[in-house]
Chain A
């Protein structure tokens, strides 16, 4: 990467930057903003679930027309809220906000490169994402409201505005937005892969790469292979909706009128959608797990246990993630044999996941743990991964899925693995790399307060949901009060809503800490955590091209913490081997 002496204007430095560190922060800020939006949406619909049909002051956040005259939330707008909540959190926050931030920020720094392979394509990836965001947000205000058929947008519900108002303009904008989002993601992913393959500094072999890089690398590969199928899926839906083709639609009467569609199958949509949908959750999870491996090693002052096995687990999880998608479709009437195959592959994916958990536990064993806020969240991630991962064994078993599919049992499971595990991983990443991103330290006490309140509230929200599911309560229900069999569940719903609102408020501690520290935080040193990876060898002020002089040369792996015979309890990757010292 040749010339870094070009003059920077405000526009090239902050808006159309091609510097990976700035682009990372653009993703982070946009991701955080969208997380707030998604979280507020969940606060609104949780209030409805606790006090069905009643007015709440939170409804003031909603556009006019979403509330009926007596102050109750409209049922179809409830569905709009859960749809947008899911869309925003799965794609905008946990994919773009997580990968977009940390892949962009860390990859060049951790492999010892000046920047990504193509800063221009990187810049484009953010701006596609930005425009996608604007379009998605604008869909909230159109007539009929935003998409309302669940973030999984199954047709015919998502194809027919007569079936639900949000399937009109709102759904069209959703499709447009997702298309731009996917293109942006692909542009990013291309860069991450190529940069890791080509721009590693001297001595940085793949076997010496930090686990975070491995995770981000494999995630990018997952993305470039699976996201395009969502595009083809969406393209056919677009044609059905806007041009009247019958790819997914057949034999439909709506509003008393028999429609012309013939020969299509909504199940085809489901196959194409989940072919992305399942790898997508690993696109979300793997970077979080990669971050956690790093944070745990640094703060345990010990190597991550079983580095090779961890890499192997990441690869195996990624490979298996392509052949499990049918477990989202057990109840579609698929050939039972096919269901058996998917059960088999799904339960297999538990094995590399278990290996990762055991390796983290072994890393903590006989460690000398430093509880930075990042470390707290990393441990939280492991706890949530254990909890949520185990309930996956129930859901992945087709026979058991018969009675828990689409109930709150599923909602509990995926929130614990994604809403807890992955989000905690994201928090861990922000707390851990904040000094590198902004040159300042975040306040430690506020970090502790944030973690413990979040940890308590989040489990308070999502663990009870398993019981709702085992009681037979379906998801995406506007209220549980229509069925006498669910009358006994209102206490649980109130408890969940209480923790949800408390947890939402607790995030203010983080927002405050984050914003305040950017401006008024104590100045950070170059390597406040005494970590080994290359990003900590760059100057605090952050420069274009990352290192002022030559690129560092790597002589060892990233995990020489408390190595016997060493002076300090850490040895950065670019420190040459001492005489007689053997590389691990």
Chain B
């Protein structure tokens, strides 16, 4: 049984790690913001698949909020975390669909006919997805543990950490989506 101090420490490790991830995306975002006004920038409409995936990830975040409530009622968190995991996989699927759509629109990462605006879109969304994979791994672990009914209100470190990270990924995606659509 881990102490409160140990749990706090693990949570802080995650928070600072997320700070680092923010700086990483900060670097990419700065590059994007600086490059765009320089010209030679192809404007295009973002495939709707990305809008769908945005809705999915926001929804998954909302679902995750209800887990604490379930634990308080002494219920298993299993169904809810499983749902979040499935929604996460669905998000991933729609990201891929979005990229497919881009290619069919003629927006490429590189090569003949490609443009910086397309390159940035691919790199930003890919970087986000790579970090999301970490979230999916955490969700898989938590789902398995939840099936064994391990979590209680007092002892839910893995769920707490996974939730914080997952919410972070959702917020990060919202930021990127806004950047790509409105800047």
Is B one of A's binding partners? yes
By a beta-carbon cutoff of 8 Å, the part of chain A in contact with chain B is 1-2, 117-118, 121, 186, 189-191, 193-195, 197-199, 224-229, 231-233, 235-236, 239, 243-247, 260, 262-265, 268, 271-272, 275
Contact residues in B for A262 (Cβ distance below 8 Å): 40
Interface residues of B in 1-51 (CB under 8 A from A): 3, 5-6, 8-10, 12-13, 16-17, 19-21, 23-28, 30-31, 34-35, 38-41
Q: Which residue of A has the minimal Cβ distance to B120?
A: A247
Contact residues in A for B40 (Cβ distance below 8 Å): 262-263
Given A118-B13, A225-B20, A227-B20, is A263 in contact with B28 using a C-beta cutoff of 8 Å? Answer: no
Q: Which residue of B has the minimal Cβ distance to A197?
A: B12
Contact B38 A186 (CB under 8 A): no
Shortest C-beta distance, A4 to chain B (Å), equals 14
By a beta-carbon cutoff of 8 Å, the part of chain B in contact with chain A is 3, 5-6, 8-10, 12-13, 16-17, 19-21, 23-28, 30-31, 34-35, 38-41, 109-112, 114-116, 119, 123, 127
Given A117-B10, A198-B9, A227-B20, is A232 in contact with B109 using a C-beta cutoff of 8 Å? Answer: no
Q: Which residue of A has the minimal Cβ distance to B9?
A: A117
Contact residues in A for B119 (Cβ distance below 8 Å): 239, 245-247
Q: Which residue of B has the minimal Cβ distance to A250?
A: B40
8 examples of A-B residue contacts, CB within 8 angstroms: A189-B16, A198-B9, A224-B23, A245-B119, A263-B40, A271-B30, A271-B34, A275-B27
Shortest C-beta distance, A465 to chain B (Å), equals 33
Which of B16, B30, B34, B39 has the most C-beta atoms of chain A within 10 angstroms of its own C-beta?
A: B16
Q: Report Cα–Cα, A224/B19, bound state, in Å.
A: 7
Contact residues in B for A247 (Cβ distance below 8 Å): 31, 35, 116, 119
Q: Report Cα–Cα, A228/B19, bound state, in Å.
A: 9
Q: Which residue of A has the minimal Cβ distance to B116?
A: A263
Contact B23 A235 (CB under 8 A): no
Given A244-B110, A264-B116, is A228 in contact with B21 using a C-beta cutoff of 8 Å? Answer: yes
Q: Report Cα–Cα, A233/B127, bound state, in Å.
A: 13
Contact A236 B123 (CB under 8 A): yes
Contact of B31 among A2, A228, A268 (CB under 8 A): A268
Contact A186 B123 (CB under 8 A): no
Contact B109 A231 (CB under 8 A): no
Q: Report Cα–Cα, A489/B112, bound state, in Å.
A: 51
Nearest 8 CB-CB pairings of A with B: A232-B27, A228-B24, A117-B9, A229-B27, A228-B23, A263-B40, A244-B110, A245-B119
Contact B13 A190 (CB under 8 A): yes
Contact residues in B for A198 (Cβ distance below 8 Å): 5, 8-9, 12
Shortest C-beta distance, A354 to chain B (Å), equals 30
Contact of A235 among B8, B26, B28, B34 (CB under 8 A): B28
Other 15 A-B pairs with CB < 8 A, given A190-B17, A199-B9, A239-B109: A190-B16, A198-B9, A224-B20, A227-B20, A228-B21, A228-B24, A232-B25, A232-B28, A247-B116, A263-B38, A263-B115, A263-B116, A265-B38, A271-B30, A272-B30
Query: What DSSP secondary structure best describes chain A's contact surface?
Result: helix
Q: Which residue of A has the minimal Cβ distance to B117?
A: A263
Q: Which residue of B has the minimal Cβ distance to A269?
A: B31
Shortest C-beta distance, A233 to chain B (Å), equals 6
Contact B5 A199 (CB under 8 A): yes
Q: Report Cα–Cα, A385/B16, bound state, in Å.
A: 31
Q: Report Cα–Cα, A263/B35, bound state, in Å.
A: 8
Q: Report Cα–Cα, A239/B116, bound state, in Å.
A: 12
Q: Report Cα–Cα, A268/B39, bound state, in Å.
A: 15
Q: Report Cα–Cα, A260/B35, bound state, in Å.
A: 18
Shortest C-beta distance, B162 to chain A (Å), equals 17
Shortest C-beta distance, A193 to chain B (Å), equals 6
Contact of B13 among A1, A117, A236, A243 (CB under 8 A): A117
Q: Which residue of A has the minimal Cβ distance to B24?
A: A228
Shortest C-beta distance, B165 to chain A (Å), equals 14
Contact B111 A235 (CB under 8 A): no
Contact of A186 among B3, B5, B20 (CB under 8 A): B20
Q: Report Cα–Cα, A198/B13, bound state, in Å.
A: 11
Contact B109 A243 (CB under 8 A): yes
Q: Report Cα–Cα, A237/B34, bound state, in Å.
A: 16
Contact of B20 among A194, A228, A236 (CB under 8 A): A228
Contact of B110 among A199, A227, A239 (CB under 8 A): A239
Q: Which residue of B has the minimal Cβ distance to A186?
A: B20
Q: Report Cα–Cα, A190/B40, bound state, in Å.
A: 40
Contact residues in B for A227 (Cβ distance below 8 Å): 20
Contact residues in B for A2 (Cβ distance below 8 Å): 3
Q: Report Cα–Cα, A117/B5, bound state, in Å.
A: 9
Shortest C-beta distance, B50 to chain A (Å), equals 20
Contact A225 B23 (CB under 8 A): yes
Contact residues in A for B26 (Cβ distance below 8 Å): 228-229, 232
Contact residues in B for A186 (Cβ distance below 8 Å): 17, 20
Which of A118, A193, A229 has the most C-beta atoms of chain B within 10 angstroms of its own C-beta?
A: A229
Given A229-B26, A244-B110, is A194 in contact with B31 using a C-beta cutoff of 8 Å? Answer: no
Contact residues in A for B10 (Cβ distance below 8 Å): 117-118
Q: Which residue of B has the minimal Cβ distance to A273?
A: B27
Contact residues in A for B35 (Cβ distance below 8 Å): 247, 263, 265, 268
Contact B123 A239 (CB under 8 A): yes
Q: Report Cα–Cα, A566/B13, bound state, in Å.
A: 42
Contact residues in B for A244 (Cβ distance below 8 Å): 110-111
Q: Report Cα–Cα, A227/B21, bound state, in Å.
A: 10
Contact residues in B for A260 (Cβ distance below 8 Å): 112
Shortest C-beta distance, A230 to chain B (Å), equals 8
Given A117-B10, A247-B31, A268-B31, is A193 in contact with B16 using a C-beta cutoff of 8 Å? Answer: yes
Shortest C-beta distance, B107 to chain A (Å), equals 13
